[in-house]
Amino acid sequence: MALERGLFSLICCCWVLALMCCQPLAGASRLPTAYKRALQEFKSDKVQVIRAELIHRNHPNYPINALSGASAADRHAASASRQRAHVSRRLAAGVEFQAPVSSGFAYGQAEYVMTLYLGTPVQKFVVIVDTGSDLVWVQCLPCSRPYQCYNETDPFFNPSSSSSYSVVPCTNLSCDPFQVGGTAAGCNSVGNCKISAAYGTPGSGIGGLLSTETISFSNNTDSGQLGISNFLFGCMDNDTSSFGTADGLVGMGRGPSSLPSQLSQLTSFNVFSYCLVPYLVSFNLTSPLLFGASNSKGLELVYTPIVDNPITYYWVNMTGISINGTAVNIPKAPLEWNLTTSTGGTIFDSGTSYTIFSNDIWTPVVQRLKELITYPIVPVDNQFLCYNVSGVQEPVYPSMSFQFSGVGGGVVDFPLTGQNLFFPPHDPTVQCLAIAPAGTPFFINIIGNFAQGDHYIETDLVNMRIGWASRNCSQPDL
């Protein structure tokens, strides 16, 4: 089983991982002494890149997959069902995008997981990778009434079994960032920093204590891979959300407490990148997630600026869509972020499967495809355009490209092929467009992981840009 090999490996001769607690963007001057010391130790090392293997929920070794042993058609059908729930719940949530910890997973989109270890001795956890939130957390004992926890893959984290666990008091500077935007629920009766996070639907959320612990990404201490102390995380013991059987969550958003932000602020790791293997190509491969220097390996990347939006997602300025090289006539308003209504604009979200467009964008795109594709249309779901391709060995579809503002001016293309655009929801004789309507004219547009497949995508947090190049992500040379 792939998980038994450990999902993280270091691409360097040094095996020391240093992930420290994240502080506000005001700078490292506010870091407690222990964090400053850990930072100095890290910078003296020669770590170049940290590599993680992302396991998609359709992978046969996905540890929280209720569809284990299901057919490919069953997996796609379940994915389509999750997407419908995703869209309807986002609409019901209204302006939930303003919340500091809004999560793609809250809408049924636990697309990828990775493994981490906490404590001394280590305790293993399989956690959801969430690009739509910032907090790192796991469920913790005692989880006894009046509190509650959901069942998970591994045992709950047991603080009493770890010699390195510590609770953060409310007077500690580390508690301050969690008092902003309603993330913190205040202090408990003994003065510890109490935190909570809502995940989209009314009455759904998690709560617990802000804590520090030693974190590592391997349980093989004999190999010389050391844990890093004083890592800030949420030790949650009151959960009213449903996260399947995952042990917790790693926030990958732009907020100061996310994993990428921690590495960017406290180390030289200012870039993270990934290359998603299209799961229509293979259910059996994992996808690399890399932290550190650019790993483009000779690829000529094009870049679009990250829009400095206060919300945690990775915002970009989408300018248009072309099909077979011809621009689609779409209105500009849904492409532009509206601060007053919290609508419009575009984000990259690897935690969402299908691309989602405002109705005013989706409708002309679908109309143009209907004009170009001659296969019979079949009614599968009113949220998807589907075709009967029975008897067609290799269906041929128009090419599509998303356009974005380029760094330094101009426009850059994000090219899409048939495998980025169409999927079989039930069986290979029917294929549906992997672009769904939001159900409202001015929705936040999402570039999902179907579209991102077979692209090397690099996020540069210092230069505030996202770059990409087409490549075969199944190749083992990343």
**Averaged pLDDT of the chain:** 75
Can you list the pairs that 339-345 forms with residues at least 24 positions away whose Cβ atoms lie under 8 Å?
341/95, 341/442, 342/95, 342/97, 342/98, 342/311, 342/444, 343/442, 343/443, 343/444, 344/442, 344/443, 344/444, 344/445, 345/307, 345/309, 345/315, 345/444, 345/445
Confidence of residue 60 (pLDDT cuts 50, 70, 90): low
DSSP 3-state of 197 = strand
Query: Quick one: pLDDT at residue 81?
Result: 44
Q: Quick check: 97 pLDDT over 70? A: no
Residues 27-41 have a mean pLDDT of 37
CB 100 within 8 A of CB 134: yes
Task: Give the separation between CA 235 and CA 118, rounded to whole angstroms.
Answer: 11
Q: Quick check: 130 pLDDT over 70? A: yes
Q: Could you confirm whether 134 is annotated as catalytic?
A: no
What does the radius of gyration of the chain's CA atoms come to, in whole angstroms? Answer: 22
Q: Are strands 248-251 and 136-139 parallel, antiparallel or unpaired?
A: antiparallel
Task: Give the separation between CA 62 and CA 59, rounded to whole angstroms.
Answer: 5
Q: Quick check: 10 pLDDT over 60? A: no
Residues 395-410 have a mean pLDDT of 96
Q: Name the nearest CA neighbour of 247 among 109, 100, 118.
A: 118
Q: What are the structure tokens assigned to 120, written together?
A: 């001394």
Q: Could you confirm whether 349 is annotated as catalytic?
A: yes
Query: Quick one: pLDDT at residue 308?
Result: 85
Confidence of residue 376 (pLDDT cuts 50, 70, 90): very high
**Tell me: domain 294-470, CATH 2.40.70.10, correct?**
yes
Number of H helices, E strands in the chain: 6, 28
CB 300 within 8 A of CB 409: no
Query: Quick one: pLDDT at residue 71?
Result: 46
Q: What percent of the chain has pLDDT over 90?
A: 31
**CATH number of the domain at 2-269, out of 3.40.47.10, 3.20.20.70, 2.40.70.10, 2.30.29.30?**
2.40.70.10
Question: Over the stretch 181-191, which tens digit does the pLDDT of each residue have?
Answer: 444 457 888 88
Query: Quick one: pLDDT at residue 132?
Result: 75
Q: How deeply is 233 buried, as exposed, middle or buried, from its count of CB atoms within 10 A (0-12, 13-18, 19+)?
A: buried
Locate CATH 2.40.70.10 in the chain.
Answer: 2-269, 294-470
Task: Give the separation between CA 215 and CA 98, rounded to whole angstroms.
Answer: 30
Q: Which one is catalytic: 134, 237, 349, 454? A: 349
Q: Which one is catalytic: 130, 237, 239, 454? A: 130
DSSP 3-state of 162 = coil
Give the CA distances from residue 22 to residues 43, 125, 294, 462, in Å, rounded to whole numbers and listed in that order. Answer: 16, 20, 22, 16
The length of the chain, given as a count of residues: 478
Q: Quick check: 40 pLDDT over 50? A: no
